[in-house]
Amino acid sequence: MTRILLIVGGGIAAYKAAELIRLLKTRGHAVRCVMTESAHHFVTPMTLAALSEDKVYTTLWDLKDEAEMGHIQLSRQADLIVVAPATADLMARMVAGLANDLATTLLLATDKPVLVAPAMNVRMWSHAATVRNVAQLRADGVTVMQPDEGMMACGEYGPGRLPEPPAIVAAIDAMLAPTPPKRLAGRHVLVTAGPTHEPIDPVRYIANRSSGKQGFAIAAALARLGARVTLVAGPVTLPTPPAVDRIDVETAREMAAAVDHALPADAAVMVAAVADWHVESVPQKIKKGEATPTLMLAENPDILATLARSPHRPRLLIGFAAETERVIEHAVAKRVRKTADWIVANDVSGDVMGGADNSVHLITEAGVESWERLPKDAVATRLAERIADALEAAP
Ligand code: CTP
Angle of CA points 188, 239, 131, to nearest 5°: 170
Q: Tell me which amino acid residue 290 is.
A: E
Out of 117, 141, 176, a domain closes at: 176
DSSP state for residue 10 in the 8-state scheme: S
Q: Average model confidence (pLDDT) for the chain?
A: 93
User: Given a cut of 60, is residue 174 above it in pLDDT?
Assistant: yes
> How far is CA 317 from its chain centroid?
24
pLDDT confidence bin for 150, thresholds 50/70/90: confident
For residues 367-378, give the mean pLDDT: 92
In a domain, 35, yes or no: yes
For residues 363-387, give the mean pLDDT: 95
CA of 208 to the centre of ligand 1 (A): 13
- Burial of residue 245 (number of CB atoms within 10 Å: 0-12, 13-18, 19+): middle
Query: Same structural domain for residues 329 and 204?
Result: yes
For residues 107-134, give the mean pLDDT: 96
User: Given a cut of 60, is residue 315 above it in pLDDT?
Assistant: yes
**Looking at residue 348, what is its pLDDT?**
84
Query: Same structural domain for residues 212 and 284?
Result: yes
> Tens digits of per-residue pLDDT, 279-288?
987 888 888 8
Protein residues with CB under 6 Å of any ligand 1 atom = 192, 252, 270, 272, 274, 276, 300, 302-304, 319-322
Main-chain phi, psi angles of 303, to 5 degrees: -65, -45
**Looking at residue 63, what is its pLDDT?**
55
- Choice among 50, 131, 135, 154 that is catalytic: 154
**Looking at residue 178, what is its pLDDT?**
83
Lowest model confidence (mean pLDDT) among 55-69, 132-146, 199-213, 346-360: 55-69
Query: Same structural domain for residues 98 and 210?
Result: no
Ligand 1 closest atom vs CA 343: 15
User: Given a cut of 70, is residue 106 above it in pLDDT?
Assistant: yes
Is there a catalytic annotation at residue 154? yes
Mutate to test the pocket of ligand 1, among 334, 348, 363 (most ligand atoms within 8 A of CB): 334
- Burial of residue 134 (number of CB atoms within 10 Å: 0-12, 13-18, 19+): buried
**Looking at residue 65, what is its pLDDT?**
65
In a domain, 133, yes or no: yes
Buried residues in 53-85 as b, exposed as e (16+ CB within 10 A): eeebbbebeeeebeeeeebeebbeebbbbbbbb
Ligand 1 closest atom vs CA 337: 23
Domain extent, residue 134, equals: 3-176
CA of 280 to the centre of ligand 1 (A): 20
